[in-house]
Amino acid sequence: MVNSGFSLKFTTEFTTFHEKKVVNRTGLCHAGDNRNIKKTPCFSGLFEYKKALSFMVRILFICHGNICRSPLAEFLFKDMVKKAGREDEFEIASAATSYEELGEPVYPPVRKLLSQRGIDCSGKRAYRMEKADYNKYDLLICMDSRNLRYLRNILGTAPDGSLDDPEKKVRLLMSYTGDLRDVADPYYSGDFAETWQDISEGLTALMKSFG
């Protein structure tokens, strides 16, 4: 915990998160100061702040069943940060919005795609996100708009009828590319190459957002 006199200059601003440290409109960080909070998150600012305080940035990738797209994103991003020498800066996991595949391993075609690139996903089993994960993770990155709708069953609904996401942690993966399109579900489309391309593009943009 930093003391009340601690301050840190940023080039960007970001929203509050569960460690209770926030940024005001001047870009100065003050522990416990919740005045003038800018509600539009900038995750590069979040990253620089957590890095300065030796916190890992925690990312949870989310899809419907947690056997195709979200584990693909999880293990591909783990490989990216490892190759960049930044493993100690991130905690990365994935989860489902449904119970349909609970406990199942990664779908064989996805395991094959990862294995062909030297990435091992053995031991991964489908996990359904819990409400407590909202406080555990800094970013909840969904593969499609249906995931966003189903998250309401887990996180609840805000008074205005929207997803209850007070800290603005929930994002679509492709939004990092400037495109709000969904990552197609290869479990139904059968086009794993297209899904790989979309996820690779989204993760590359996500990585760039951290500087």
Question: Distance between CA atoms of 211 and 208, rounded to whole angstroms?
Answer: 5
Strands (E), the chain: 21-23, 29-31, 57-63, 90-96, 139-142, 170-172
Nearest to 183 by CA among 162, 164, 205, 161: 205
Q: Among 121, 128, 108, which Cα is nearest to 65's?
A: 128
Q: Which residue in the list 58, 69, 111, 171 is annotated as catalytic? A: 69
Of the listed 29, 58, 63, 144, which one is catalytic? 63
Q: 63 catalytic, yes or no? A: yes
Task: Report CA-CA distances (Å) from 76 to 6, 119, 200.
Answer: 36, 8, 8
**CA separation for the pair 144, 171 (Å, rounded):** 9
Q: If we measure between CA atoms, which residue out of 63, 52, 119 comes closest to residue 93?
A: 63
Q: Mapped to the 3 state alphabet, what secondary structure does 160-184 carry?
A: CCCECCCCCCEEEHHHHHCCCCCCC
| Three-class secondary structure of residue 152 per DSSP | helix
Of 133, 138, 144, 185, which residue is the catalytic one? 185
Q: Which of 19, 13, 86 is nearest to 44 (CA)?
A: 13
Residue 185 is a catalytic residue: yes
The set of catalytic residues is 63, 69, 185
